DNA sequence: TATGAATGAGGTTTCATTCAT
DNA sequence: TATGAATGAAACCTCATTCAT
């Protein structure tokens, strides 16, 4: 899976948009490798093979490119997860699939994954955006009688942090291949799903979906 | 609860040790407030009321003070949690208490908490240290028939991330007062403890313990 | 009194000339507000509502627009002062009127005034141009027996600096309304005009003249 | 007359004070040569033969060194002029001497002169400081019946601008040697002193005084 | 003529670190 | 041990100017 995610989708765009895409790609790589603070604008520009001043033609400062990148990643991921779950009504399945797909998809694009992980840490708005989708499924599960919990910000934060833990493990390379299923199973148990059902649902086959991040409206 | 944690315990030490303690205190505050990158050695020294050059008499570089601080915090916290749980044999209670005490204690020393949160993120060694203690209790729970899970790194990481989520919520100030209990309850459910027992144990009274961090062997 | 001095007079010109006029107007405003160094070509272009590259279609560099602007202002002012004094033969009156009209006219167009003040400071050629007209009147006054001084560059420079002082006071807003008359009176006294005549002449009514700067041959 | 005015007086000071003096000397030269805006901190440091970072050990930014320099120059000049006029009671003489000495002294230290000229333009506080001394002499002259004018801010500004004109002429090198006397004479005439007395006083011999600027308390 | 993205030198400032005292 | 001035690399950012369209 390519690491040039904005760039690859931008071949047909104008020169300006391609430069912008190259800068965002470079920023993703560097934010992921070095973190936001340690990544320098000059190095982003160098990696994008443009002059340092060109950076400022497209972005006001490092903060701006960071939030643009984060929004682009999050928006794209969210959209694809949504699409991949169209037609699934059962909240237990939806919840499990969401976690598994998220970890698997992002885990397959390590640069992005790390960038997203940091972004979730840095931009609370991102957490909130993810939380919105989540809350819907959790409440649906309660309504369906499958979940036996109080759906509130604490639960959502805990749930999200579990996903992040799985993503972190996947990205660090030390985790077993089925880590996404393990995390999903633990989540279902936490939500009140009986252990055997939790185990079964979190392990059932999942059609492969390929992640392809393309520039958003942003 | 004092923010001068190394310094306060160092009154009886020599001048050199006191200077060192003052530097560590200053570092904790600044790492917590600004993050590791943004905290400057000059400002650490200024806040510790020593000349900037003095910093390098005590620490090789900024990395060193960071890891020393992290180790000191983690070691101290771990030791105190251990002590507070002496005599408790039931793994369900131990697990619940660990989470609750950790969140409450650290949550009451915001500077430290934030520093620890960042440190856990930055230094994997810290996670491992915490993980060791945890693993013992989880395995004990399995042996006691109270937990119905596979104790492995995935579980531990997920468990730790849930604690961090609670700590994060507490530090951000947006969480309800009982967030520590909520998190502990969710953890117990995840581990296979029946919902009613999980609820009861995670809410039972906990004797207050005051956190007082003192310099370790470091 | 309009601040769009080149532009307003250029409505009948071709597109190219209008663009040029817009650039000069924008430059006047920015030079006046921020000074020559701090005014950027990009902002001049933005304020003129043209692309930054367009600037270089019309001017070789920033220096060129500055001198063109200065020349245009000075030429226009000089010409109008001349016209306003046609028919006046008495050197005492001419001298007094010159100072008074200059301060009043330019003082009423603050952007211009500040630009001119800076330009007089920066471009000696401007001082010389103004000095030429002045010298004629001063020598006429000597010939008429009204002035009792040696007309030389020192006198001219001193005289000009007195006018600038008055202009500066007017632009800074802190000066009394009759500052132009006060300055003119002091000049006449310096030139040897008896105090009572100096006072009377410098205070006599002056028909209002409106300043309207239009593009010159430039 | 040396151009190393802070430095030369600082030989006996500590190393830090000498570095600071070297920076101020370098700043004076560059402000005079290039103007405040065009002078770069890096070049000031290079000319002072210190590392660029050293600048910021001593001054917060370019503004700070500029005002420190301006204050030092103005303070030193003012003090010396005051001392040179001790014992002189006649306002006509004092006024004339002030102008002549100011132009001669500063005119002999071209770097300083240009720096002061720019500073007077840039920092109104400097003008005010000079104005204070002036006002005393002017009012004294009125009280003594020698001057026949209204002493107010307009008069003071005009008077100061005449001095600046003379200084400017002296610094530009184009002015005659007696420019200081010429300006003083014109001022006296403006103030109402009869032409023959103005001429005589402004030309009488003046004991030489050497300017030696040393670091102030600043 | 007009555009506006791209350039890259150079500006200000910060900061970890060294070193003479 | 302690000091704090000095260092210089490197960060961010601006801006006059060029050039392909």
The model's pLDDT over D50-84, given as tens digits with 9 standing for 90+, comes to 999 999 999 999 999 998 988 888 888 888 888 88
Which residue is closest to F21 in terms of CA–C1' distance?
A15
Q: What is the mean pLDDT of residues C208-215?
A: 59
Q: Do A153 and B162 touch (CB under 8 A)?
A: no
* C61 Cβ neighbours under 8 A, 6+ residues apart: none
Q: Å between D62 CA and E12 C1'?
A: 9
Q: At what angle do helices B195-203 and B179-191 cross, to 10 degrees?
A: 150
Q: pLDDT at position C61, please?
A: 95
Structure confidence by residue, pLDDT tens digits, D85-138: 999 999 999 999 999 999 988 887 777 788 887 777 777 777 787 888 899 999
Confidence class of residue D178 from pLDDT cuts 50, 70 and 90?
Answer: very high
Low-confidence ranges of chain B (pLDDT < 70): 1-5, 7-12, 209-218
Closest CB to D164: pick one of C161, C189, C195: C161
Structure confidence by residue, pLDDT tens digits, C62-118: 999 998 988 888 888 888 888 889 999 999 999 999 999 999 888 877 777 888 887
The answer to whether A62 and A209 have CB atoms below 8 angstroms apart is: no
Q: pLDDT at position B5, please?
A: 65
Q: What letters, b where the CB count within 10 A reaches 16 and e where it falls short, cover D205-217? A: eeeeeebebebee
Nearest CA in chain B to A117: B121
Q: What is the mean pLDDT of residues C192-200?
A: 97
- B207 CB burial (10 A radius; 0-12, 13-18, 19+): exposed
Structure confidence by residue, pLDDT tens digits, D7-48: 666 566 788 999 999 999 999 999 888 888 899 999 999 999
Q: pLDDT at position A1, please?
A: 43
The SS3 assignment for D175 reads: coil
Which of D 35-94 lie inside 8 A of C, CB atoms? Answer: 35, 37-38
On whether the C5-59 domain is CATH 1.10.10.60, my answer is yes
Query: In chain B, which residues from 34 to 53 place their CB closer than 7 Å to nucleic acid strand F?
Result: 50-53
Nearest CA in chain B to A198: B190
Provide the 8-state DSSP code for C48.
Answer: T
- Chain B residues closer than 8 Å to A168 by CB: 157, 161
Residues of chain A with CATH 1.10.357: 69-202
Length of chain C: 218
Q: Do B157 and A168 touch (CB under 8 A)?
A: yes
Q: pLDDT at position A10, please?
A: 58
pLDDT more than 90, % of chain B: 56
Residue C26, pLDDT above cutoff 70: yes
Q: Å between D80 CA and F16 C1'?
A: 45
CA-to-CA dists, residue D187 to C13, C27, D17, D81, D133, angstroms:
49, 37, 41, 18, 16
Q: Which of C128, C156, C190, C202 to mutate to test the interface with D (most CBs of D within 10 A)?
A: C190
Q: Which nucleotide is nearest to B54 (CA to C1')?
A: F2
Neighbours of B1 (CB within 10 A): 12
Confidence class of residue D211 from pLDDT cuts 50, 70 and 90?
Answer: low
Q: Please state, in angstroms and rounded to a whole number, the distance separating the CA atoms of residues C191 and C146.
A: 8
Confidence class of residue D216 from pLDDT cuts 50, 70 and 90?
Answer: very low
Query: Is chain D touching chain B, with at least 3 CB–CB pairs below 8 Å?
Result: no
Determine phi and psi for D110, rounding to 5 degrees. Answer: -55, -45
Residues of chain C with CATH 1.10.10.60: 5-59
Mean pLDDT score of chain D? 87
Structure confidence by residue, pLDDT tens digits, B120-165: 777 777 778 788 889 999 999 999 999 999 999 999 999 999 999 9
Q: pLDDT at position B218, please?
A: 37
Q: Please state, in angstroms and rounded to a whole number, the distance separating the CA atoms of residues B215 and A21.
A: 50
Neighbours of A6 (CB within 10 A): 27
Q: Å between A41 CA and F10 C1'?
A: 11
Which residue is closest to E21 in terms of CA–C1' distance?
D15
Strand F close to B58 by CB, under 7 A = yes
Q: Å between A45 CA and E8 C1'?
A: 12
Q: pLDDT at position A203, please?
A: 97
Q: Which of A40, A157, A197, A202 to mutate to test the interface with B (most CBs of B within 10 A)?
A: A157
**For A69-202, which CATH class?**
mainly alpha
Structure confidence by residue, pLDDT tens digits, C47-71: 999 999 999 999 999 999 998 988 8
Query: In chain A, which residues from 133 to 172 place their CB closer than 7 Å to nucleic acid strand E?
Result: none
Q: pLDDT at position B194, please?
A: 97
Q: Can you read off the two tokens belonging to residue C63?
A: 């220096």
Q: pLDDT at position A106, please?
A: 83
Q: pLDDT at position A151, please?
A: 97
Q: Which nucleotide is nearest to B43 (CA to C1')?
A: E15
Low-confidence ranges of chain A (pLDDT < 70): 1-5, 7-12, 209-218
Q: pLDDT at position B111, please?
A: 78
Q: Do A183 and B35 touch (CB under 8 A)?
A: no
Q: pLDDT at position B73, please?
A: 82
Q: Do C158 and D165 touch (CB under 8 A)?
A: yes
Strand E close to B52 by CB, under 7 A = yes
Q: Å between C61 CA and F21 C1'?
A: 22
């Amino acid at each position: 899976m390519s690491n040039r995610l904005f760039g690859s989708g931008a071949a047909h765009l104008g020169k300006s948009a391609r430069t912008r895409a190259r800068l965002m790609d470079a920023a993703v790589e560097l934010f992921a490798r070095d973190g936001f603070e340690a990544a320098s604008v000059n190095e982003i520009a160098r990696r994008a093979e443009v002059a340092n001043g060109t950076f400022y033609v497209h972005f006001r400062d490092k903060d701006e490119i960071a939030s643009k990148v984060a929004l682009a990643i999050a928006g794209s991921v969210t959209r694809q997860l949504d699409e991949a779950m169209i037609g699934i009504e059962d909240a237990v399945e939806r919840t499990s699939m969401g976690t598994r797909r998220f970890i698997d998809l992002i885990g397959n694009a390590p640069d992005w994954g790390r960038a997203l992980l940091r972004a979730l840490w840095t931009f609370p708005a991102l957490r909130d955006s993810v939380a919105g989708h989540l809350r819907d499924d959790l409440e649906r599960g309660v309504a369906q009688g499958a979940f036996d919990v109080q759906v509130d910000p604490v639960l959502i934060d805990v749930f999200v942090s579990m996903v992040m833990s799985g993503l972190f493990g996947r990205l660090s390379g030390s985790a077993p291949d089925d880590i996404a299923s393990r995390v999903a199973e633990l989540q279902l148990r936490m939500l009140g799903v009986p252990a055997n059902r939790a185990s079964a649902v979190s392990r059932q086959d999942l059609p492969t979906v390929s992640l392809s991040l393309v520039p958003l409206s942003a």
